[in-house]
Amino acid sequence: MDDKTVARLSLICSLTGLAAIYVAAASVRPRVTPIASLDNEFVGLKVAISGQVIDYREHQDGHIFLKLRDDSGGVVSVPIFSRLRAELGESIELLDVVEIVGEVVLYRGKLEVVPGRASDVKVVHTAPVKLSSLSVENAGVAVKVQGTITEREIVGGGNFILTLVEDGGQLPVFIPYWIADDGLPELHVGDVVRVDGWLQLYNGKLELKVANASHLHVVEAA
């Protein structure tokens, strides 16, 4: 084997090795960083965080803004812009556990972690709580529930009240009128639905308030 052949083979091996290293590096997700440890020194860096969705807001342009909290007690905002959201292929619900890989940015004086690709977002859906486990002491708490619609009532100003039942438990679900015109799915008595939102007291009784149409999913139509 002459020197030129040896040099050519060496070059090919080197390029192949570099390509393998690049692919391996690109596929490795950063080690999960405790949210409470994030500070201004992280701005501009890519991090991985994992936390539970404790707040979920949707913009009229299709963006969603999450707040994640982890076991460290830290809370951070995560904006998922409409283009990326459309590529996710699955919904994100209140109280789900979400792993995000993204860049730490400073927006209006507060830190955010901004994912750039759909593969930077991993979702683990949490199970709904049983309706029978809820009481007035839970007012103000965010929950995810599932049940069968037994009543569907329109009340003052076009608001909706759904009554859900499940395994002996019952819960009214309050849907403000402006949500009804914002992509809310058709709802019928007998439908099984999953809803996430905040528990509140109305006339001394517990009810679940829905903040956005995307917080209600029809699991099984009647």
Do 96 and 140 belong together in one domain?
no
Q: Is the pLDDT of residue 8 over 60?
A: no
Q: Is the pLDDT of residue 213 over 70?
A: yes
Decide which of 124, 150, 171 is a domain's last residue.
Answer: 124
What CA–CA distances, in Å, run from 215 to 77, 146, 203?
Answer: 19, 12, 24
Do 101 and 148 belong together in one domain?
no
Q: Return d(Cα 66, Cα 100) in angstroms, integer.
A: 11
Do 89 and 138 belong together in one domain?
no
- Give me the chain's average pLDDT, please: 87
Phi, psi of 162 (to 5 degrees): -105, 140
Q: Average of pLDDT values for 81-99?
A: 92
What pLDDT was estimated at residue 28? 55
The answer to whether residue 2 sits within a structural domain is no
Which tens digit of pLDDT belongs to each residue from 105-144?
Answer: 999 999 999 999 999 999 999 999 999 999 999 999 999 9
Decide which of 91, 124, 157 is a domain's last residue.
Answer: 124
Query: Which has the higher per-residue pLDDT, 111 or 212?
Result: 111
What pLDDT was estimated at residue 22? 44
Q: Is 33 helix (H, G, I), strand (E, B) or coil?
A: coil
Q: Return d(Cα 19, Cα 167) in angstroms, integer.
A: 56
Residue 6's pLDDT band, with cuts at 50, 70 and 90, is very low
Residue 108 belongs to domain spanning: 35-124
Do 103 and 156 belong together in one domain?
no
Which tens digit of pLDDT belongs to each residue from 152-181?
Answer: 998 888 898 999 999 899 999 999 988 877
Name which of 29-43, 92-106, 171-185 the model is least confident about: 171-185
Q: Return d(Cα 208, Cα 199) in angstroms, integer.
A: 4
User: How big is the CA angle at 31 (ends 25 and 34), to the nearest 5 degrees?
Assistant: 155
Q: Return d(Cα 162, Cα 171) in angstroms, integer.
A: 8
Looking at the structure of the chain, the number of domains it has is 2
Do 66 and 139 belong together in one domain?
no
Q: Return d(Cα 158, Cα 180) in angstroms, integer.
A: 8
Do 79 and 144 belong together in one domain?
no
Q: Is the pLDDT of residue 46 over 60?
A: yes
Give the torsion through C-alpha atoms of 43, 44, 48, 49, to 10 deg.
30
What pTM value is reported for the model?
0.77
Q: Is the pLDDT of residue 14 over 90?
A: no
Decide which of 124, 139, 154 is a domain's last residue.
Answer: 124
Identify the CATH number of the domain in which residue 209 sits.
2.40.50.140
What pLDDT was estimated at residue 11? 42
Long-range contacts for 60-66 (Cβ within 8 Å, ≥24 apart)?
62/86, 64/92, 64/214, 66/92, 66/98
The answer to whether residue 30 sits within a structural domain is no
**Who's near 20: CB < 8 A, 6+ residues apart?**
none
Token pair for 66:
């999450």
